[in-house]
Each structure stands twice: as structure tokens, then as C-alpha cells.
Structure 1
Amino acid sequence: MYRCALTLALAATCVVAQAQTHRTFPANALRGELVITQFPDALLNGKPARLAPGARVKGDTNLWIAPAGLAGQKLVVHYTVETSGLLQDVWVLNPVELANKPWPTTPAEAASWTFIPGNQTWVKP
């Protein structure tokens, strides 16, 4: 019983620690402002967007969130887009991740900047 309690306490500590650090994002993730209007419709950087049928949304603690529960909130996120143009993966950023600048906001910026996956940073040319 003691071992189970200790394991749960360590797991909870890891979740809290994860929320305070950088998550690993793919090189094709862009930064933007997302407002879910009426699921699956949204505004991404003020322009109409739509979440894909299998879209995954993770909160700032890296736990999955139902997108409909975020309706009306302005969120700074990292996101990926399917080839069809629909939003596929969305991560709501925590304060540490928000401070990680620069981060590309357009595919053109991502194509011209250099991504360093080890420390999750971008270098402008």
C-alpha cells in the first residue's frame, strides 16, 4: 500500500513538473491565437478555421481537453495542420512555452528559420 501511495505521489509530481517546462513540439508546429467559436469552427489568427474530425487538443498541463469546452476563449497555441487545411494537433501553451520566442507563425517563417529540436527553439536567418 505504501509503495502505491509513493508511486502516485511521484506521478503527480511529474505532471506538475511537466506543466512548468517545455513540451516537445514537431518542427511543423506554428504559433497562433485560437478561438473556438462553435465546434468544430474556430478563428485562427482572426481568420476562419476548422478542427479536423480527429483533432487533438491538449491543455497547458498536457492533458487532453474537449475542444467544445474551450468555446469563446482566446488561447495562444501551437498547432499543426492537415494537408486538407484542417487543424490537427493543438497545444494550449503554458507560461514557460509562451516565453520561448521566436516561434514561427506562418509556414513561410518556418521554412526560412532553423528549428533546433533538442531545446525546442527556432533561429532566424
Structure 2
Amino acid sequence: MYRCALPLLLAAASLTAQAQQHRAFPAHALRGELVITQFPDALMNGRPVRLAPGSRIKTDTNLWVPPAGLTGQKAIVHYTVESSGLIMDVWVLNPAEIANKPWPTTPAESATWQFIPASQTWIKP
């Protein structure tokens, strides 16, 4: 009976360890506070935005979640914007990723700061 629980405990420990690791984000990802009001409508940093059709949201454990699963919740995220201005990819950040500062919050900041992909860090000019 106890042998059956071991794989579940190992899987849970693995997910917890994964949640505290830094994921690799693209250089054009911005940081913000997301609140999904009613899909596809949302607020990013208090301003109205729309999620793109086919947008993807990953939790802090890197699992996909439908937007309705986050409705009404505030989350610190990294996100990408497609050419039409809609939010495409969203990653809910874990505590280790939130502590990784500075991270640009506007396209102007990401255009002037220097991104180091290997360490997932930014350097301000």
C-alpha cells in the first residue's frame, strides 16, 4: 500500500522543485500584473487588454491553464504581445522568478536595456 504512494510523492516533490527554478523567457517578454476579467478581456498593470485567440497561459509550475481558471485573480506574470497588440503568451511567475529584478515592464525599457539569455537577467544602461 505504501509503495503506491511513493511515485505520487516523488512527482509532487519534482513539481515543487520545478516551481522554484527559473524558466527561460524570450527577450521580448515583459513583466506585469495580470487580472483576467472575462476572457478575452483582462487588465495588465491596471489597463484594459485583450488576450489573443490561441493565447497560452502557464502556471508557476509551468502547467497550461485555461484563462477562465485565473478569472479575478491578480498574478505577476511575464507576457508577450503579438503584432496586433493582443497578449499571446503568459507565464505566471514563481517566487524565484519574481525576485529576478530588474525586468522590463514596457517595450521602451526592453529596447534600451541589455538582456543576458544565459542568466535570464537584464542590465539597465
What TM-score do the two structures reach when normalised by structure 2? 0.90
| Alignment partner, residue 33 of structure 1 | 33
Residue 13 of structure 1: CA displacement? 4.2
Runs of 5+ unmatched residues, structure 2:
none
Counterparts of 1:66 and 1:76 in 2: how far apart (Å)?
17
Given residue 93 of structure 1, which amino acid in structure 2 is its aligned partner? L
Aligned length: 122
Counterparts of 1:72 and 1:19 in 2: how far apart (Å)?
22
| Alignment partner, residue 70 of structure 1 | 70
- 1:1-125 to structure 2, matched below 5 A, reads 12-125=12-125
- Provide, for residues 53-100 of structure 1, a one-character-per-residue CA deviation record: whole Å limited to 9, x for no partner: 110000000000111111111111000000000000000000000000
Given residue 99 of structure 1, which amino acid in structure 2 is its aligned partner? A
Residue 6 of structure 1: CA displacement? 8.4
Counterparts of 1:118 and 1:9 in 2: how far apart (Å)?
31
Given residue 18 of structure 1, which amino acid in structure 2 is its aligned partner? Q
Which 4+ stretches in 1 moved above 4 angstroms? 5-13
Counterparts of 1:111 and 1:74 in 2: how far apart (Å)?
27
RMSD value, Cα = 1.7
Runs of 5+ unmatched residues, structure 1:
none
